[in-house]
Amino acid sequence: MSMGIYKVPSRVLFGLGIYDLIRGIMHTFVLRWSGTNIAGFNAETTPIDQYFMLGTFGISNFLTGFIYLLISRRSPELSPYVLALIPGAYLLGLIGIWSNGIHGTSAYGGRYLLYVYFAICIGTLIYFAYEKRK
């Protein structure tokens, strides 16, 4: 099957899958280093539960990474829709967190990487919509 207009979204999703696997490794196998050097944790004062939560997020990174790789290769036509779900799911989660009166105050370094991640998703969706209209 020729991928046509799904080629770029599929390749982007594949790249995000690889990136999520790297994030999974960073959040689990290199947890203490990542917590200190990327998330900005103070190793002496940060509760161990905070590291544990960072690690459990890494588990979901492994899951999403493998799912993105699978979708991008086996069902490329789903790739743009998955790319739309990514920032949508994060927004939904933030709304849920904020609705409980919880607002983050720390400046962790990983957030800037997430901004790029979301920009890639949204930029690819704009490109896909343009190509689809042609």
14: pLDDT strictly greater than 90: yes
| Number of domains present in the structure of the chain | 1
Does the pLDDT at position 106 exceed 70? no
CA triple 126-127-131, angle to 5 deg: 120
Q: 2: pLDDT confidence band, cut at 50, 70 and 90?
A: low
Domain that holds residue 60: 4-133
Is 45 exposed, middle or buried (CB count within 10 Å of its CB: 0-12, 13-18, 19+)? exposed
Average pLDDT in the chain: 93
At residue 1, the pLDDT reads 46
Q: Are 80 and 128 in contact (CB under 8 A)?
A: yes
- DSSP H helix total and E strand total for the chain: 5, 0
Please determine, for residue 3, whether its predicted confidence score (pLDDT) is greater than 80.
no
Residue 61: pLDDT over 70: yes
Q: What is the DSSP letter of 46?
A: S
Share of the chain above pLDDT 90, in %: 81
Q: What average pLDDT score do residues 30-41 get?
A: 91
